[in-house]
Amino acid sequence: MTKTAIKQRDGNVMVKVSVETTPAVIQFSDILEACEVKPDEDAEAPWDNCDGYEHEVIKDNTDGESAGSFRDGRGRMMRCVTSEFEDWGSAPSGASKQVVFEAHAAEVKRTLQQLAKWHGNGWEVFGVVCNFQGYHDSCWGFYDDEGCDGPYMRENIREIAGNVAAQMVKGGYTVEGWQPWTGTDRNAYKKNQIRQRLNLVTK
């Protein structure tokens, strides 16, 4: 980025004009580097913000054997229970009743494990912010057990950087190393995000 001062005389006055020049070809990796992951201080509890996590907490009478068991801040064994659960199509289309039942049970178990993990260990919520050469995009409310370096967060960082790249291309820049989303790719990505939100338990 360079700045050039141009002076011109207009009658009895001197006109000073400052011209700022930037490279017209931008590397997508530079936009990625400009992205920051920041704590979301005003976030709600994850179960208040994500569909599929409706539950209640009761005293645990399973001696910690339940998928939803956790020890609270006072050292008491508690348990998450859910009466309504949306499995988001976890079983393949046309599957037998047994396969559907097992897939549903596995989803319930994963959800209860995630709830227990949040209750027992707390949670972190992040926002992704990208400011690059006057272009900006951000998104908040990412619940990610793997923190800033997990694959889920890296995908979201890439999406925010991609939004900035799209703005820059519209503004006349060339962004190298970036592939614009197609409608099919974006829909598949969004569906995968829903699945990830329901399966955040770190293996």
**Percent of the chain, pLDDT > 70?**
75
Per residue in 133-192, pLDDT (tens digit) is 999 999 887 776 655 667 778 888 999 999 999 999 999 999 999 988 765 555 555 555
In order, the DSSP letters of 68-92 are TEEE-TTS-EEEEE-S-----S-SP
Residue 99 CB neighbour total at 10 angstroms:
13
Q: Beta strand pairing status for 13-21 and 2-10?
A: antiparallel
Average pLDDT of the residues in 104-117: 85
CA 82 to chain CA mean position, Å:
25
Please say if the pLDDT value at position 57 is more than 80: yes
Top-confidence residue, 5 or 166: 166
pLDDT for 201 equals 44
pLDDT for 34 equals 96
Please say if the pLDDT value at position 111 is more than 80: yes
In the block, which residue shows the tokens 């998928």?
Answer: 67
- Domain limits of the chain? 24-43+124-197, 46-121
pLDDT confidence tier of residue 198, bands split at 50, 70 and 90: low
Top-confidence residue, 21 or 160: 160
Please say if the pLDDT value at position 61 is more than 80: yes
Out of 63-72, 106-115, 162-171, the most confident range is: 162-171
pLDDT for 145 equals 61
Q: By the 8 A CB rule, do 2 and 14 touch?
A: no
Q: By the 8 A CB rule, do 19 and 3 touch?
A: yes
Q: What is the mean pLDDT of the chain?
A: 79
Average pLDDT of the residues in 63-88: 80
